[in-house]
Amino acid sequence: MIAVELKNSHKMIGNVYMGKRDFEALEIGYVFNQNYWGNGYAAESCKVLIQQAFSNGVHRIYAECDPGNKNSWRLLEALEFQREAHFRKNVYFWRDETGKAIWKDTYVYAKLNNNL
């Protein structure tokens, strides 16, 4: 995980990460303080990681996001990721007051290294 901070104040505003997966692939993820959305910080940070991964011979980078998080999947599309799947009610992070899982859908995006 890599912290993202503002250059002038060194205030941490989010983080990006790359996790190893099978078959020469990586998973990219990001979390940013909502007060800094729409300023290009996530795109700039992700572009650097993607470029570095591809220059190191990574074949494929993928990402998962909540279909309801339009900002997230729009960012992936702006980074030229392709939507490959829409999994229905495949994950949960919370339970309701009775202990029942609150299931969520997932979009899966991927970007291939065109230089291989």
Residues 104/58, Cβ–Cβ less than 8 Å: no
Strand ordering across the sheet containing 60-65: 2-5, 12-21, 25-32, 60-65, 101-112, 82-95
> In this structure, which amino acid lies at residue 93?
F
Q: What is the CATH number of the domain that holds 8?
A: 3.40.630.30
Tokens 């570095």 belong to: 52
Three-class DSSP category at 49:
helix
How many structural domains is the chain composed of? 1
Residues 116/60, Cβ–Cβ less than 8 Å: no
Pair of tokens at residue 70: 């339009």
pLDDT tens for each residue of the chain, 116 residues long: 889 988 889 999 999 999 999 888 999 999 999 998 889 999 999 999 999 999 999 999 999 999 999 999 999 999 999 999 999 999 999 999 999 999 999 999 999 998 76
Domain ranges, residue 104: 2-112
Instruction: Quote the CA–CA distance of 30 and 96 in Å, as a whole number.
Output: 26
